[in-house]
């Protein structure tokens, strides 16, 4: 009944307008909240000189303007590497068409076995946004040092098979190549999609 009263109607309108204005203000002044670890100002900007899975020489400039996720792994890793890449693939699915603004760079810590053709077949299995990158040992050591990650290759068994240890971190850079966030194998696809969406939106 009160809505029929013009005074009450005006009051409700004013209250609603005030709420909307307050929400807008708080949205603007509040810090962006991230589901993943915020590494802004802690990790070095994106910089590298590597060979991609088509044999092309690439640098950080090649991917400027896109959100880049950088992960160190190897193709002979049966569990944690594909699990992490599958989670990133799911996160991209949640982004829909915006997924094209993202590139996932898989840097192999096992360049001896991970040839460009094998890297290509491997990364293609996860989606068109996935790119395999490699370089030889001294440059790889330097790149790992830049991102403060370590890796080591185990001793080969009787069949020549060996395993590696590597970092579980996924470093996420904005379109300008600035390090912003860090995900891990345990991060959820929803959290990654949420944060990457914010980065795409210019956060």
Q: How far apart are CA 95 and CA 163, in angstroms?
A: 34
**Taking the complex as a whole, how short is the minimal distance between the CB of residue 128 and other proteins, in angstroms?**
12
Identity of the residue, 153 or 203, whose beta carbon is nearer to other proteins in the bound complex: 153
Identity of the residue, 58 or 189, whose beta carbon is nearer to other proteins in the bound complex: 189
Please give the radius of gyration of the chain, using alpha carbons only, rounded to the nearest integer: 22
- Tokens at 52, concatenated: 């991609």
Identity of the residue, 31 or 157, whose beta carbon is nearer to other proteins in the bound complex: 157
**Taking the complex as a whole, how short is the minimal distance between the CB of residue 147 and other proteins, in angstroms?**
11
Q: How far apart are CA 43 and CA 80, in angstroms?
A: 23
DSSP state of 33: P
Contact positions vs other proteins (CB under 8 A): 75-80, 82-83, 85-87, 89-90, 118, 121-122, 124-127, 149-151, 159, 161, 163-169, 185-186, 189
Sign, CA dihedral 149-62-92-116, equals negative
Identity of the residue, 8 or 80, whose beta carbon is nearer to other proteins in the bound complex: 80
């Amino acid at each position: 009944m009160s809505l029929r009263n013009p005074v009450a109607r005006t009051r409700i309108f004013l209250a609603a307008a005030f709420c909307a204005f307050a929400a807008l203000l708080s949205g603007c002044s509040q810090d962006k909240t991230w589901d993943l670890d915020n590494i802004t100002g802690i990790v070095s900007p994106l910089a590298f000189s590597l060979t991609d899975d088509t044999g092309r020489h690439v640098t950080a400039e090649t991917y400027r303007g896109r959100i880049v996720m950088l992960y160190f792994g190897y193709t002979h890793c049966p569990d944690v590497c594909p699990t992490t890449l599958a989670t990133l693939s799911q996160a991209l699915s949640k982004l829909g068409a915006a997924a094209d603004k993202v590139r996932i760079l898989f840097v192999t810590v096992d360049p001896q076995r991970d040839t460009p053709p094998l890297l290509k077949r491997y990364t293609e299995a996860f989606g068109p946004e996935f790119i395999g990158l490699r370089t030889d040992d001294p440059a790889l050591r330097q790149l790992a040092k830049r991102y403060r990650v370590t890796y080591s290759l185990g001793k080969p068994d009787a069949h020549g098979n060996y395993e590696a240890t590597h970092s579980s971190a996924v470093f996420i850079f904005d379109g300008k190549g600035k390090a912003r966030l860090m995900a891990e194998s345990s991060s959820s696809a929803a959290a990654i999609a949420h944060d990457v969406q914010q980065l795409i939106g210019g956060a």
